[in-house]
Amino acid sequence: MKSVQLLIFFFLFSVKLFAQYSLATEVAVKADYFTSDNLGNAYIIKGNEIFKYLPNGKLFNRYSNLMLGNITSVDATNPLKLLLFYRDFSKIQFLDNQLSENRVISLQDLGLEQSTHACTSFDNGFWVYDQISFSLIRFNQAFDKTQEVRNINQNIGYEPQPNFLHESGDWVYLNNPETGVLVFDIFGTYFKTIPLKGLKDFQIAGDNLLYFNDGKLQSYNLKTLQQAEVQIPPDEIQMLRVEKEKLMILTKESLKVYQVK
């Protein structure tokens, strides 16, 4: 088991473990949301700007594109190729690890009518969810369509209103707050729904789906289906993530990074 998986295991199943964490760094920021990568970098998003902070809390770079409006979501699964999604303009902007522009993709030019979510996929591809056709579509790095699942609403028996899309390992997760997390394989075939309702976002770490709810970091094991939770010290927490033996917490005033002792 990798060290990060061991950390997550002990973190989730030992309530006392948080006492072994110390505040490593705190950055004064006011953000709409944030994400992180597997190198321990944090990405703060505010309106049309994204700020990259190194694991030591130092600001590395920033990026904005006033022509594309506000950044709807950021996928940093591949830290060498960040995916920025601009829902209002139906575009995707790829950035390298310096936050330099790579390429802008118009999803409308790819035949998508109303793209509401996008995320990174394996081999430099990406997934897009189209709300009008209830379709989940994958494109490769040459922007050729490789998988498409149309009329997901017919397969599951209702019209989903998802708020989050993410690929991890061999699975694609489409979060529908009213019913739970819809799980598809990498070919787009619907597999099951994880009955976790009301989630705003989540993180896949090893075999665990991690999310923050009711003042607790909660875990759902994707293999055993076991659930666990850890009380987080009181704070005005907006989001949190676990990366590289660190617990990252975004509050209304700052990003706090706790290091395991």
Name the 3-class secondary structure at 171.
strand
CA separation for the pair 53, 41 (Å, rounded) = 6
Which helix (H) or strand (E) covers residue 46, if one does?
strand 42-46
pLDDT at 20: 61
Closest to 172 measured CA to CA, from 141, 147, 144, 142 = 147
pTM of this prediction? 0.91
What are the extents of the domains in the chain?
107-186
Q: What is the pLDDT along the chain (261 residues), one digit of tens a residue?
A: 444 444 444 444 443 444 466 888 999 999 999 999 999 999 999 999 999 999 999 999 999 999 999 999 999 999 999 999 999 999 999 999 999 999 899 999 999 989 999 999 999 999 999 999 999 999 999 999 999 999 999 989 999 999 999 999 999 999 999 999 999 999 989 999 999 999 999 999 888 999 988 888 899 999 999 998 877 766 778 899 988 778 899 999 999 998 866
pLDDT at 1: 41
pLDDT at 234: 64
Cβ distance 121 to 169 under 8 Å? no
pLDDT at 245: 78
Q: CA 248 → CA 209, 220, 259, distances in Å?
A: 16, 19, 9
Return the CATH number of the domain spanning residue range 107-186: 2.40.10
pLDDT at 229: 84
